[in-house]
Structure 1
Amino acid sequence: MVVLNRIYTRTGDDGTTALSTGERRRKYDLRVSAYGTVDETNATIGVARLHTGALAAIDAPLARIQNDLFDLGADLATPETGEALAYEPLRIVPAQVELIERDIDRLNAGLKPLRSFVLPAGSPAAAHLHVARTVCRRAERLVVELSGQPGEIVSPAAVKYLNRLSDLLFVMSRVANAAAGGDVLWVPAAGRGG
Protein backbone atom coordinates (compact mmCIF):
# COMPACT_ATOMS: atom_id res chain seq x y z
CA MET A 1 0.00 0.00 0.00
CA VAL A 2 1.18 3.50 -0.78
CA VAL A 3 0.76 6.21 1.84
CA LEU A 4 1.68 9.77 0.88
CA ASN A 5 1.10 12.02 3.85
CA ARG A 6 3.86 14.44 3.01
CA ILE A 7 4.48 15.49 -0.60
CA TYR A 8 7.85 17.19 -0.24
CA THR A 9 10.71 15.41 1.50
CA ARG A 10 13.67 17.64 0.60
CA THR A 11 15.72 14.50 -0.11
CA GLY A 12 15.94 15.42 -3.78
CA ASP A 13 17.30 18.89 -3.19
CA ASP A 14 20.79 17.59 -3.90
CA GLY A 15 19.79 16.55 -7.43
CA THR A 16 19.27 12.88 -6.64
CA THR A 17 16.23 10.66 -6.36
CA ALA A 18 15.65 7.24 -4.82
CA LEU A 19 14.88 4.13 -6.82
CA SER A 20 12.49 1.58 -5.31
CA THR A 21 15.49 -0.28 -3.90
CA GLY A 22 16.57 2.80 -1.94
CA GLU A 23 19.58 3.40 -4.19
CA ARG A 24 20.00 7.09 -5.00
CA ARG A 25 20.73 8.26 -8.51
CA ARG A 26 21.12 11.62 -10.21
CA LYS A 27 17.83 12.97 -11.53
CA TYR A 28 19.20 12.94 -15.08
CA ASP A 29 20.23 9.27 -14.79
CA LEU A 30 19.07 7.26 -17.81
CA ARG A 31 16.90 4.95 -15.68
CA VAL A 32 15.21 7.94 -14.04
CA SER A 33 14.73 9.57 -17.45
CA ALA A 34 13.19 6.35 -18.77
CA TYR A 35 10.59 5.93 -16.04
CA GLY A 36 10.01 9.69 -15.97
CA THR A 37 9.13 9.59 -19.66
CA VAL A 38 6.80 6.64 -19.00
CA ASP A 39 5.10 8.92 -16.45
CA GLU A 40 4.94 11.67 -19.08
CA THR A 41 3.32 9.19 -21.48
CA ASN A 42 0.74 8.44 -18.81
CA ALA A 43 0.00 12.14 -18.33
CA THR A 44 -0.47 12.70 -22.06
CA ILE A 45 -2.90 9.77 -22.15
CA GLY A 46 -4.78 11.42 -19.29
CA VAL A 47 -5.14 14.57 -21.39
CA ALA A 48 -6.25 12.52 -24.41
CA ARG A 49 -8.92 10.91 -22.24
CA LEU A 50 -10.52 14.32 -21.77
CA HIS A 51 -11.65 13.82 -25.39
CA THR A 52 -12.27 10.05 -25.58
CA GLY A 53 -15.13 9.63 -23.09
CA ALA A 54 -17.72 9.21 -25.85
CA LEU A 55 -15.54 6.56 -27.51
CA ALA A 56 -15.83 3.65 -25.06
CA ALA A 57 -13.85 1.33 -27.36
CA ILE A 58 -10.88 3.67 -26.82
CA ASP A 59 -11.45 5.10 -23.36
CA ALA A 60 -11.83 1.83 -21.43
CA PRO A 61 -8.51 0.38 -22.67
CA LEU A 62 -6.81 3.72 -21.97
CA ALA A 63 -7.93 3.55 -18.33
CA ARG A 64 -6.37 0.09 -18.03
CA ILE A 65 -3.21 1.29 -19.80
CA GLN A 66 -2.78 4.18 -17.37
CA ASN A 67 -2.62 1.61 -14.57
CA ASP A 68 -0.20 -0.53 -16.61
CA LEU A 69 2.07 2.48 -17.04
CA PHE A 70 2.33 2.79 -13.25
CA ASP A 71 3.30 -0.90 -13.23
CA LEU A 72 5.94 -0.16 -15.88
CA GLY A 73 7.25 2.81 -13.91
CA ALA A 74 7.57 0.59 -10.83
CA ASP A 75 9.31 -2.06 -12.94
CA LEU A 76 11.86 0.43 -14.26
CA ALA A 77 12.35 2.05 -10.83
CA THR A 78 13.34 -1.35 -9.41
CA PRO A 79 16.47 -2.44 -11.26
CA GLU A 80 17.38 -6.10 -11.30
CA THR A 81 20.67 -6.51 -9.53
CA GLY A 82 20.81 -10.26 -9.04
CA GLU A 83 20.37 -9.76 -5.31
CA ALA A 84 17.21 -10.88 -3.53
CA LEU A 85 14.81 -8.15 -2.46
CA ALA A 86 12.65 -8.26 0.65
CA TYR A 87 9.58 -8.02 -1.61
CA GLU A 88 8.42 -9.24 -5.01
CA PRO A 89 8.98 -6.33 -7.42
CA LEU A 90 6.19 -5.34 -9.76
CA ARG A 91 7.10 -6.24 -13.35
CA ILE A 92 5.40 -5.93 -16.72
CA VAL A 93 4.38 -9.42 -17.87
CA PRO A 94 3.81 -10.81 -21.38
CA ALA A 95 0.04 -11.01 -20.76
CA GLN A 96 -0.08 -7.19 -20.60
CA VAL A 97 1.62 -6.99 -24.01
CA GLU A 98 -0.77 -9.59 -25.43
CA LEU A 99 -3.78 -7.61 -24.24
CA ILE A 100 -2.55 -4.55 -26.12
CA GLU A 101 -2.08 -6.69 -29.24
CA ARG A 102 -5.70 -7.86 -28.96
CA ASP A 103 -6.80 -4.22 -28.60
CA ILE A 104 -4.87 -3.29 -31.75
CA ASP A 105 -6.38 -6.15 -33.74
CA ARG A 106 -9.92 -5.41 -32.53
CA LEU A 107 -9.74 -1.66 -33.23
CA ASN A 108 -7.84 -1.95 -36.50
CA ALA A 109 -10.35 -4.46 -37.93
CA GLY A 110 -12.93 -1.70 -38.43
CA LEU A 111 -10.58 0.76 -40.14
CA LYS A 112 -9.98 1.26 -43.84
CA PRO A 113 -6.48 0.21 -44.94
CA LEU A 114 -3.96 3.05 -45.09
CA ARG A 115 -2.70 4.09 -48.50
CA SER A 116 -0.85 7.18 -47.24
CA PHE A 117 0.84 8.39 -44.10
CA VAL A 118 -1.45 10.33 -41.80
CA LEU A 119 -0.73 13.65 -40.17
CA PRO A 120 -0.92 13.92 -36.38
CA ALA A 121 -4.11 15.96 -36.64
CA GLY A 122 -7.87 15.71 -36.91
CA SER A 123 -10.21 15.54 -33.95
CA PRO A 124 -9.03 16.70 -30.51
CA ALA A 125 -8.98 13.07 -29.33
CA ALA A 126 -6.87 11.98 -32.31
CA ALA A 127 -4.43 14.87 -31.99
CA HIS A 128 -3.86 14.17 -28.28
CA LEU A 129 -3.47 10.44 -28.95
CA HIS A 130 -0.77 11.31 -31.49
CA VAL A 131 1.04 13.38 -28.85
CA ALA A 132 0.80 10.43 -26.46
CA ARG A 133 2.14 8.14 -29.21
CA THR A 134 5.22 10.31 -29.81
CA VAL A 135 5.97 10.63 -26.09
CA CYS A 136 5.58 6.84 -25.80
CA ARG A 137 8.10 6.38 -28.64
CA ARG A 138 10.55 8.61 -26.75
CA ALA A 139 10.03 6.49 -23.61
CA GLU A 140 10.68 3.39 -25.70
CA ARG A 141 13.93 4.84 -27.08
CA LEU A 142 15.13 5.64 -23.55
CA VAL A 143 14.21 2.18 -22.24
CA VAL A 144 16.00 0.51 -25.16
CA GLU A 145 19.05 2.72 -24.55
CA LEU A 146 18.94 1.82 -20.85
CA SER A 147 18.77 -1.89 -21.68
CA GLY A 148 21.99 -1.53 -23.68
CA GLN A 149 23.98 -0.06 -20.79
CA PRO A 150 26.40 -2.30 -18.87
CA GLY A 151 24.83 -3.52 -15.65
CA GLU A 152 21.35 -2.23 -16.49
CA ILE A 153 18.77 -4.98 -16.97
CA VAL A 154 15.39 -4.26 -18.54
CA SER A 155 12.90 -7.01 -19.16
CA PRO A 156 12.00 -7.75 -22.78
CA ALA A 157 8.31 -7.42 -21.81
CA ALA A 158 8.87 -3.79 -20.76
CA VAL A 159 10.37 -2.91 -24.15
CA LYS A 160 7.64 -4.78 -26.03
CA TYR A 161 4.93 -3.08 -23.97
CA LEU A 162 6.05 0.40 -25.05
CA ASN A 163 6.49 -0.69 -28.66
CA ARG A 164 2.96 -2.11 -28.80
CA LEU A 165 1.49 0.80 -26.87
CA SER A 166 2.71 3.34 -29.42
CA ASP A 167 1.14 1.20 -32.16
CA LEU A 168 -2.11 1.05 -30.23
CA LEU A 169 -2.15 4.83 -29.72
CA PHE A 170 -1.74 5.25 -33.49
CA VAL A 171 -4.65 2.91 -34.19
CA MET A 172 -6.74 4.68 -31.54
CA SER A 173 -6.03 8.05 -33.20
CA ARG A 174 -7.37 6.59 -36.45
CA VAL A 175 -10.49 5.28 -34.70
CA ALA A 176 -11.06 8.73 -33.16
CA ASN A 177 -10.67 10.38 -36.55
CA ALA A 178 -12.93 7.79 -38.22
CA ALA A 179 -15.66 8.84 -35.80
CA ALA A 180 -15.04 12.49 -36.74
CA GLY A 181 -14.82 12.29 -40.53
CA GLY A 182 -11.59 10.46 -41.31
CA ASP A 183 -7.81 10.67 -41.18
CA VAL A 184 -5.88 13.75 -42.21
CA LEU A 185 -3.60 12.44 -44.96
CA TRP A 186 -0.08 13.55 -45.77
CA VAL A 187 0.21 15.32 -49.10
CA PRO A 188 3.85 15.00 -50.26
CA ALA A 189 5.47 18.30 -51.27
CA ALA A 190 2.28 20.23 -50.45
CA GLY A 191 4.27 23.10 -48.97
CA ARG A 192 6.39 23.79 -52.04
CA GLY A 193 3.80 26.04 -53.62
CA GLY A 194 2.73 26.12 -57.19
Structure 2
Amino acid sequence: MGKRLTQIATRTGDDGTTGLGDNTRVPKSHPRIAALGDVDELNSHIGLLLCEPLPQDVRELLIDVQHQLFNLGGELSIPGFELLQESAVLQLDQALDTHNATLPRLEEFILPAGTRAAAQAHVCRTVARRAERS
Protein backbone atom coordinates (compact mmCIF):
# COMPACT_ATOMS: atom_id res chain seq x y z
CA MET A 1 0.00 0.00 0.00
CA GLY A 2 1.25 3.50 -0.79
CA LYS A 3 1.98 6.25 1.66
CA ARG A 4 -1.09 7.52 3.44
CA LEU A 5 -1.43 11.21 4.18
CA THR A 6 -1.95 11.77 7.88
CA GLN A 7 -1.80 15.56 7.99
CA ILE A 8 -2.86 18.35 5.69
CA ALA A 9 0.02 20.76 6.38
CA THR A 10 3.63 19.69 6.74
CA ARG A 11 5.12 23.18 7.18
CA THR A 12 8.11 22.02 5.08
CA GLY A 13 7.23 24.51 2.36
CA ASP A 14 7.46 27.61 4.50
CA ASP A 15 10.82 28.38 2.85
CA GLY A 16 9.16 28.77 -0.58
CA THR A 17 9.93 25.27 -1.80
CA THR A 18 7.86 22.13 -2.18
CA GLY A 19 8.80 18.47 -2.24
CA LEU A 20 8.43 16.17 -5.22
CA GLY A 21 7.79 12.46 -5.02
CA ASP A 22 11.49 11.67 -5.47
CA ASN A 23 12.30 13.76 -2.35
CA THR A 24 13.81 16.64 -4.33
CA ARG A 25 12.70 20.17 -3.50
CA VAL A 26 11.84 22.81 -6.07
CA PRO A 27 10.64 26.41 -5.77
CA LYS A 28 6.87 26.72 -5.54
CA SER A 29 7.16 28.94 -8.63
CA HIS A 30 8.63 26.04 -10.67
CA PRO A 31 6.71 25.34 -13.93
CA ARG A 32 6.22 21.70 -12.86
CA ILE A 33 4.35 22.89 -9.76
CA ALA A 34 2.20 25.27 -11.82
CA ALA A 35 1.31 22.40 -14.18
CA LEU A 36 0.55 20.11 -11.24
CA GLY A 37 -1.77 22.75 -9.78
CA ASP A 38 -3.55 23.23 -13.11
CA VAL A 39 -4.10 19.48 -13.50
CA ASP A 40 -5.35 19.22 -9.91
CA GLU A 41 -7.70 22.17 -10.42
CA LEU A 42 -9.09 20.61 -13.60
CA ASN A 43 -9.71 17.35 -11.77
CA SER A 44 -11.59 19.24 -9.03
CA HIS A 45 -13.73 21.10 -11.57
CA ILE A 46 -14.59 17.82 -13.29
CA GLY A 47 -15.62 16.51 -9.87
CA LEU A 48 -17.94 19.48 -9.50
CA LEU A 49 -19.38 18.83 -12.97
CA LEU A 50 -20.04 15.22 -11.94
CA CYS A 51 -22.35 16.54 -9.20
CA GLU A 52 -24.75 17.59 -11.96
CA PRO A 53 -27.18 15.32 -13.84
CA LEU A 54 -25.29 13.97 -16.87
CA PRO A 55 -25.82 11.20 -19.42
CA GLN A 56 -24.29 7.96 -18.13
CA ASP A 57 -21.76 7.69 -20.99
CA VAL A 58 -20.52 11.23 -20.31
CA ARG A 59 -20.33 10.51 -16.58
CA GLU A 60 -18.23 7.38 -17.21
CA LEU A 61 -15.94 9.26 -19.59
CA LEU A 62 -15.39 12.07 -17.08
CA ILE A 63 -14.61 9.62 -14.29
CA ASP A 64 -12.04 7.96 -16.55
CA VAL A 65 -10.57 11.39 -17.35
CA GLN A 66 -10.29 12.07 -13.61
CA HIS A 67 -8.30 8.87 -13.14
CA GLN A 68 -6.01 9.78 -16.04
CA LEU A 69 -5.50 13.29 -14.65
CA PHE A 70 -4.56 11.72 -11.33
CA ASN A 71 -1.98 9.61 -13.21
CA LEU A 72 -0.68 12.74 -14.96
CA GLY A 73 -0.37 14.45 -11.58
CA GLY A 74 1.68 11.48 -10.42
CA GLU A 75 4.01 11.89 -13.38
CA LEU A 76 4.40 15.58 -12.64
CA SER A 77 5.08 14.81 -8.97
CA ILE A 78 7.78 12.21 -9.59
CA PRO A 79 10.36 13.19 -12.23
CA GLY A 80 11.03 10.34 -14.67
CA PHE A 81 8.01 8.31 -13.52
CA GLU A 82 5.44 7.31 -16.15
CA LEU A 83 1.83 6.44 -15.33
CA LEU A 84 -0.18 7.97 -18.16
CA GLN A 85 -0.31 5.59 -21.11
CA GLU A 86 -0.54 6.73 -24.73
CA SER A 87 -3.53 4.42 -25.09
CA ALA A 88 -5.43 6.63 -22.61
CA VAL A 89 -4.85 9.66 -24.82
CA LEU A 90 -5.96 7.74 -27.91
CA GLN A 91 -9.06 6.52 -26.06
CA LEU A 92 -9.96 10.11 -25.13
CA ASP A 93 -9.43 11.26 -28.74
CA GLN A 94 -11.75 8.49 -29.92
CA ALA A 95 -14.41 9.47 -27.38
CA LEU A 96 -14.18 13.10 -28.50
CA ASP A 97 -14.58 12.06 -32.14
CA THR A 98 -17.61 9.94 -31.25
CA HIS A 99 -19.31 12.77 -29.34
CA ASN A 100 -18.41 15.41 -31.93
CA ALA A 101 -19.92 13.28 -34.70
CA THR A 102 -23.35 13.63 -33.07
CA LEU A 103 -23.20 17.42 -32.79
CA PRO A 104 -24.32 19.91 -35.42
CA ARG A 105 -21.64 22.09 -37.01
CA LEU A 106 -21.01 25.23 -34.97
CA GLU A 107 -21.92 28.44 -36.76
CA GLU A 108 -20.92 30.81 -33.95
CA PHE A 109 -19.19 30.89 -30.60
CA ILE A 110 -21.12 29.54 -27.65
CA LEU A 111 -21.33 31.68 -24.54
CA PRO A 112 -20.66 29.88 -21.24
CA ALA A 113 -24.22 29.68 -19.93
CA GLY A 114 -27.38 27.63 -20.23
CA THR A 115 -27.51 24.98 -17.56
CA ARG A 116 -25.27 24.73 -14.52
CA ALA A 117 -23.68 21.61 -16.06
CA ALA A 118 -22.99 23.43 -19.34
CA ALA A 119 -21.43 26.39 -17.53
CA GLN A 120 -19.31 24.05 -15.39
CA ALA A 121 -18.22 22.19 -18.54
CA HIS A 122 -17.00 25.53 -19.92
CA VAL A 123 -14.98 26.08 -16.74
CA CYS A 124 -13.47 22.62 -17.22
CA ARG A 125 -12.64 23.50 -20.83
CA THR A 126 -10.85 26.72 -19.92
CA VAL A 127 -8.90 25.14 -17.06
CA ALA A 128 -7.92 22.27 -19.40
CA ARG A 129 -6.60 24.79 -21.93
CA ARG A 130 -4.52 26.43 -19.20
CA ALA A 131 -3.21 23.02 -18.12
CA GLU A 132 -2.18 22.35 -21.73
CA ARG A 133 -0.17 25.56 -21.76
CA SER A 134 1.57 24.77 -18.49
TM-score (normalizing by structure 1)? 0.65
The one-letter code matched in structure 2 to 1:133 is: R
What is the CA-CA distance between 1:127 and the residue it aligns to? Answer: 0.7
* Aligned residues with identical type, % of pairs: 41
1:40-60 deviation per Cα after TM superposition (whole angstroms, max 9, x unaligned): 111111111111x44112111
Match of 1:64 in 2: 64
Q: Distance in 1 between matches of 2:72 and 2:3?
A: 16
Q: How does 1:30-179 map to 2 (within 5 A)?
A: 30-51=31-52, 53-80=53-80, 89-142=81-134
Q: Distance in 2 between matches of 1:90 and 1:27?
A: 22
Q: Distance in 2 between matches of 1:138 and 1:45?
A: 14
What is the CA-CA distance between 1:18 and the residue it aligns to? Answer: 0.6
What is the CA-CA distance between 1:93 and the residue it aligns to? Answer: 1.7
Gaps of 5+ in 2: none
The one-letter code matched in structure 2 to 1:90 is: E
Q: Distance in 2 between matches of 1:126 and 1:57?
A: 16
Q: Distance in 1 between matches of 2:34 and 2:54?
A: 34
Q: Distance in 2 between matches of 1:120 and 1:17?
A: 35
Where do 4+ consecutive residues of structure 1 move more than 3 Å?
Answer: none
The one-letter code matched in structure 2 to 1:126 is: A
1:75-110 deviation per Cα after TM superposition (whole angstroms, max 9, x unaligned): 112223xxxxxxxx2332210101101111221222
Gaps of 5+ in 1: 81-88, 143-194
Q: Structure 1 residues 30 and 54, CA, compared in 2 at 3 Å: closer, same or farther?
A: closer
Give 1 or 2 for the bigger CA radius of gyration. Answer: 1
Q: Distance in 1 between matches of 2:9 and 2:115?
A: 38
Match of 2:19 in 1: 18
What is the CA-CA distance between 1:6 and the residue it aligns to? Answer: 2.4
Which is bigger in relative contact order (C-alpha 8 A, separation at least 6)? 2
Q: Does 1:29 align with 2:30?
A: yes
Aligned to 1:90, the other structure's residue is in SS state coil
Aligned to 1:17, the other structure's residue is in SS state strand
| RMSD of aligned alpha carbons | 1.4
What is the CA-CA distance between 1:2 and the residue it aligns to? Answer: 3.3
